[in-house]
Amino acid sequence: MHPIIVRAGFLSGAIRNGSGNGGGLLVGYLPIVGDPNKSAENEDDSAASVEIAKFKHEVYHKVLNVIFGSLKNPSHFGDTVKCGDRILRVLFPGFLIHAVDGEEACGTCGTQGAQANHPCPRCLAAKWLLYQLSEKAPL
């Protein structure tokens, strides 16, 4: 299982980089999903590997939706919170940094990976058209 640790962005580097939990809070775990018969180095473009990658993306997104789903409405519309100085403020929670490594980065941000011809499964824009930000990619 991969731990999911949330840290406040306003903490100083001395706290974040210190020993211990560094001001972080463990909010959940992402399961390690994959084909037990293959390692990451042996993955290919076969139908089985593609299906495992799609399943892995779905699992990651469902776990993250359970953990962070309650923040969806407050992040868009705000939430009234009584702060420490007893003043009511409207806060919009959000994430400035989404730090994951390697293969999990593709899975959690919803892309197919850097080697895919169409990295985004939503818009299916071709890799060679991604630099053209002002033009619409064909569906």
Q: What is the DSSP string of the chain?
A: -EEEEEE-TTS-HHHHTSSTTTTEEEEEEE---S-TT--GGG--SSHHHHHHHHHHHHHHHHHHHHHHGGGHHHHHH-EEEE-TTS-EEEE----S-----HHHHHHHHT---TT-SS--TTT---GGGTT-TTSPPP-
pLDDT of residue 28: 85
- pTM for the whole thing? 0.54
pLDDT range class, residue 10, cuts 50, 70, 90:
confident
pLDDT digits over 81-93, tens only? 998 899 999 988 8
Residue 95 has pLDDT above 80, yes or no: no
pLDDT of residue 68: 84
